[in-house]
Amino acid sequence: MAVWGANDEIFGPAGARAFQRDLPDAEIHLIESGRFALESHLEEIAGYIRDFLARVTA
């Protein structure tokens, strides 16, 4: 799983899509954020992480 800032100017969305090319089952979430997504979208990202871990560790 990757949660990625859709507006990240250093590592843009193409980087997330590259993961999906290498790992077709990869789960990609592009959020409306820039480089420091955890600072501005912590709760949203934590939700994706919690959901992912609940599904893959069950």
Reported pTM: 0.80
DSSP 33: -
Distance (Å, whole) CA 4 – CA 58: 25
Residue 57 has pLDDT above 70, yes or no: yes
Place of tokens 């997504």: 37
Which pLDDT score, from 0 to 100, does residue 58 have?
65
Q: Per DSSP, what are the bridge partners of residue 4? A: 30
Q: Look up residue 26 and give its two tokens.
A: 């990869």
Residue 54 — pLDDT band, cuts 50, 70, 90?
A: very high
Coil, strand or helix: which one is 30?
strand
